[in-house]
Every structure is written in structure tokens, then in C-alpha cells.
Amino acid sequence: MVGGYTQYLTRVQGMPPSAVKDIRKKTDNFVYAKHGERKANTIAIATLYKDKDKGGLNLQDIEAKNEAIDAMRVRTYTLPPPLRPVWCSLADRILARAAVKKYKNVGEKALINPFLQGWRVNMSAAGLPKNLKRMMKVGYKYHTRPTPIGATKEIMEQMPIWYHTGAKAKLVSIYGDSWGVCQREVHEIMYV
């Protein structure tokens, strides 16, 4: 009943909170035959999202579907470099520009991927597109991090060295000093 076309559009262009609220209201109105009246629901809407054998109507939870779409965007964004679509490279640069100020001491060029490195994105940064903002919220919500299982030496050498997820806090403090600047600017060290 609710889904299909709206979910395709959400995948392509996102769904604003006002649209989610409107769809929820229309679904609620239809299911409970309210005809615009203000009535209390006899069964919680969360129950109606459940399967029929669990007492629900198997309604689609629009918010959960939208979050799943953003989770798939995170999955695509975190693919290995040869498998990543072009938009991921653009997203890397946009997210680097939107990094929290304390992480910019290494320069935007060294901020490669917030999920591979330990830096965070400023979610209220000007110029950060809504789709990337939603993607990052979902990524942060589910603590997205690389899980190396049987990582080869080749894969390990592709990991960014600056704000490396395995780096000790003591190392991070030297990123902005003369040694760190020399390693980045003169020797162009970016990867492990």
C-alpha cells in the first residue's frame, strides 16, 4: 500500500521529513478510517508494521525504509576503491571540507574517508548536501568502521595513515606539528 514509488524517489533524491510526516498521517488516516477526524488509534501503529502472524498488517515503516536506503548508501560509499562509483570520490572531498575543525590540522587532502579514519564530519557545515548528511548520520548511528578479516598486505597499504582508526591518541597530537607537516607536504605520505 505505502512504498514502491516513494522508496524509488527516496533512493534517487531523498525524502524530506515533511513528506515522511505526511505519508504517516495519510497511512494512519486510511488504516483507521478517520476521514480527517482526530481519534485515538485502537492499535499502535508500531504493531501494524509487524507481520500478519504477529498481529500486524505488514505495513511498511517509511522511516525504517529510508534509513535502510541511507545504510545502503553507506555500504556503497565504503566499498574498496576499484568498486566505488564516481560519486564516492566527490563525496570524499565534500565530507573533507565539512570536517570538524579540530581534524583539519592535517589539511583536506589527508582527510580521505571518515569511516576509514578517525575524524568526524560537522553535520551542520554549510554546503553539506542532505543526502550525505543522512548517510553520515546512519553511519555514525551504527558505528560504521572497517573490520579487517584476512586483510592482505596490499589492502593494509591502502589505508590512510592520518587519523588511522588504529592510531593511538598520542600520535594524533603530532599530526599538526613540523614533523607531521613535513611527512604530508614534503614526503607526500598519505597511506600506511
Same domain, 97 and 150: yes
* Residue 138 lies in domain: 81-186
The residue that leads in pLDDT, 160 or 135, is: 135
* CA-to-CA dists, residue 24 to 9, 31, 45, 60, 94, angstroms: 17, 10, 9, 10, 32
pTM for this predicted structure: 0.78
Q: Provide the domain count of the chain.
A: 2
Task: With respect to residue 65, please indicate whether it lies within any of the assigned structural domains.
Answer: no
Does residue 56 form part of some domain? yes
Instruction: Read off the pLDDT band of 187 (50, 70, 90).
Output: confident
**Average pLDDT across the chain, whole number:** 83
**CA-wise closest residue to 162 among 142, 143, 185:** 185
Asked, for residue 74, whether it belongs to a domain, the answer is: no
Same domain for 152 and 99: yes
pLDDT band at residue 7 under the 50/70/90 scheme: low
